[in-house]
Structure 1
Amino acid sequence: MLYEFSVGQLACVVVSDGQPAPPFEPPLEQFFTPDSGVPADALRAAAVREDRSTLTCGYNCLFVSTPDGMAVVDTGLGASFLGYGEYIEPLVGQLEHGMDDVGLSRATLAAVVFTHLHQDHSRGAIWSGEVRFPAATAYAHASEVAFWKGPVELPSAQPHLAAARETIRLFGERMRPFEHDTELLPGIRAVAAPGHTPGHSAILLESGGERLLCVGDTFYDPLQLTNPTWSTPWDLDRPVSVATRRAMLERAADEQLMIHAYHLPFPGLGHVQRTSTGTFSWHPLR
């Protein structure tokens, strides 16, 4: 799946690494648990209102053509992935096929920008045991790199540890740790969005008076806009993730930013609006 658009002078294309459809969509209770701050009765009530029991989990990788070359924001799960069960393997790992379809070259990709180093964002760059984009410089926040290189004891981080460490190792000196509020490439700036992981970052595209905010894993589902306090088991610091989510949603609504949401249904583009109840609503690009 491909979706081409532009942000000012920046030509962009969303390439899907996969989007499991029914009957393989994950259940809501897998993402929103009592331990992550979501009471079971509140989730059941929301499921009734929404008339659904699952969420659509996309893997929307964003390519941006900059004056310094083509960059991609996050790289999906990659091929031959079995971490969620055998059913998932043919449903993900589609990034490189999509690149071929739109004429994007692995060999000449200039940059890989990671919102964070969870396996569903980084493994697509290293799944074969070597860097899939041999000319690319990689960017991840300094705190993110330091966290995954150090002793990682949190249980919810364990499934991501191998891919994160392998990404850091394989890119080696071509991994450029950054600080927030830094322009990584022309028109591409890092924005602080911690909580999901220590160095989780949003990525702001800006050109010709137009802007797009890539929010990474700030939210997985529109239910987190109507319930901003709802976290997931993968938010390593839940209070900080809630504060970040509120701040991102407020900014997106108040500044009328276009949003790129990595895990929402393809292509993950839309806008956020405030509601009369003091929460937010998601309006996908049509």
Structure 2
Amino acid sequence: MIYQLSVGRLECVVVSDGQPGPPFEPALGDFFTPDAGVPADVLQDACRGRSTLTCGYNCLFVSTPDGMAVIDTGLGPDFLGYGEYIEPLVGQLDGGMTAAGLSRANLAAVVFTHLHQDHSRGAIWSGDLTFPAASAYAHTSEVAFWSGPVDLPSAQPHVEAARETIRLFGERLHPFEYDAEILPGVRATAAPGHTPGHTAILLQSQGERLLCVGDTFYDPLQLTNPNWATPWDLDAPASIASRRLLLERAVDEQILVHAYHLPFPGLGRVQRKGSTFTWHPLPT
């Protein structure tokens, strides 16, 4: 699946690495748990009959003056970490790139919102770099966290991919700080909490903008309930604060949003509803 759009002079294409559908959609109860602060009865009342969410892996390619870049890279082929059922449903980035006329060999940069395996493994799944000519970019705190001892249980599934990403890119992995311009028209925006260096990416050109929010939210339920955390938020209070700030900004500045895990292509607008928000997918 591919979806083309432009942000000013930045030509973009969303390429799906996969989107498991029924009966393989994950349960809402796996994402919003009592341990993460969402009691089962509260979730049931909010779901209104829903029991699953549609979890996409929406990788965004951006043609910058410094070359083609991709924001996050999906799970990659041969992934069994969620169970054998998932293997044929993800790892589709290469085919999507071919359909979009994109070349792995010519990719200039990989920008990571964070180094969880579903964002980084697509760049290193084979044991070699998927994009051999590309430099990589991740927040300084993200690189430091995954390079050191990681004791948090919810982080354990991601350690191998994160460390392999850091190792394989080596000196071509460039740590950045928040508010840095990573590439022309591509700026890092603070969004810590999900991971220590979790980053939103703001594209801007000729007065147009697109805010890539990574894992700031997994489902529209987190807009109507912005205080909901997930088991994968390493610092839940910080993650909630980042989510509110980014949603407020998207509304106040009328910025188009790209959400990595929402149904393909993950593009939409945010509107305010009292003290909460609503998601409005871009017509496709």
TM value normalised by structure 1: 0.98
Report the equivalent of 1:31: 31
Report the equivalent of 1:133: 131
Query: Which of 241, 244, 255 is matched with 1:246 structurally?
Result: 244
**Residue identity opposite 1:283 in structure 2:** H
**Residue identity opposite 1:16 in structure 2:** S
Kindly state the Cα deviation for residue 52 of structure 1 after the two structures are TM-superposed. 1.2
Report the equivalent of 1:6: 6
Report the equivalent of 1:261: 259
Identity score, percent: 78
Runs (5+) with no aligned partner, structure 2: none
Report the equivalent of 1:147: 145
What is the CA–CA distance in structure 2 between the aligned matches of 1:267 and 1:98, rounded to whole Å?
13
Report the equivalent of 1:114: 112
**Residue identity opposite 1:282 in structure 2:** W
Partner SS for 1:282:
strand
Kindly state the Cα deviation for residue 153 of structure 1 after the two structures are TM-superposed. 0.1
Partner SS for 1:11:
strand
**Residue identity opposite 2:130 in structure 1:** R
> C-alpha deviations, 1:22-52, integer Å up to 9, x for none?
000000000000111111110011122xx31
> C-alpha deviations, 1:147-201, integer Å up to 9, x for none?
0000000000000000000000000000000011000111000001000000000
What is the CA–CA distance in structure 1 between the aligned matches of 2:250 and 2:26, rounded to whole Å?
27
Report the equivalent of 1:282: 279
Kindly state the Cα deviation for residue 239 of structure 1 after the two structures are TM-superposed. 0.5
C-alpha RMSD of matched pairs (Å): 0.5
**Residue identity opposite 2:198 in structure 1:** H
Report the equivalent of 1:22: 22
**Residue identity opposite 1:20 in structure 2:** P
- Taking the TM superposition and a 5 Å limit, the aligned residue runs for 1:43-54 are 43-48=43-48, 51-54=49-52
What is the CA–CA distance in structure 1 between the aligned matches of 2:254 and 2:44, rounded to whole Å?
31
Query: Which of 233, 236, 239 is matched with 1:235 structurally?
Result: 233
Q: Which runs of 4+ in 1 moved over 3 A?
A: none
Kindly state the Cα deviation for residue 278 of structure 1 after the two structures are TM-superposed. 1.3
What is the CA–CA distance in structure 2 between the aligned matches of 1:102 and 1:192, rounded to whole Å?
30
